[in-house]
Amino acid sequence: MSAIRTKENLVDKVSQDHVWRLREISELKNLIEEPTISELRKRVLCRSGIALLYAHWEGFVKKSGTYFLEYVAAQRHNISELQGNFVTLLVRGKIDRASESNKYSAFGEVTRYIIENQTTRARIPVKNVVDTQSNLSTNVLKEIMWCLGLDYELFEAKEKLIDLKLVGRRNHVAHGEAIEIDIKDFFEMVDEVIGLMATFKNLLENSCVTESYKAA
């Protein structure tokens, strides 16, 4: 798979991943609205639909967030040219080893590496950085946003919705618990999840276009 090197590459990859998810969500909604479907089947579809909505939310954050990291990594910036969160990502392994040693001198090695390698190309890790932990609560989302250098503020008003109505109910369904989700409620969740994905997509694309991932 070719590297994501240009803004256009990134926007295209994120858009492609976004579009197929919207189509699948739309198809499910259309199916539930079908007048020939029994009420029991509609209730079953709404229950399973919550799991599907969550899966697309988690999948989109993980996939598009990783695409964004691939893009930033492919820009070949020096350490001094990047925001601090990306510097933290590339020295994470050194920090972990220093923590294991429990010695100040080991942390000094991390500090010296950063100071002495300001003009060295930043080799930003991509794999497993956007870790949704298979349970994308707002605490996990906040950490992912920090790793990507994105502003979490736009999601603050949606915290209860994400944690209780989306993640919480998805967990109830996944664990086989009896939870009723009516059509009106499900359709409201469809709109909310589409909005959440759009917000995340816009934040990624804006950071790419404005190059906010670079040090001021």
Are residues 43 and 136 both part of a single domain? yes
1 has a pLDDT exceeding 60: no
Decide: 95 and 110 in contact? Cβ < 8 Å. Answer: yes
Indicate whether 100 belongs to any domain.
yes
Q: Which of 56, 87, 121 is the last residue of a domain?
A: 121
132 has a pLDDT exceeding 90: yes
DSSP, res 66: H
pTM: 0.92
**How many structural domains comprise the chain?**
2
Percent of the chain scored above 70 by pLDDT?
Answer: 99
Indicate whether 181 belongs to any domain.
yes
Give the C-alpha separation, 183 to 42, whole Å.
7
Q: What is the pLDDT of residues 80-101, one digit of tens each?
A: 999 999 999 998 888 888 888 8
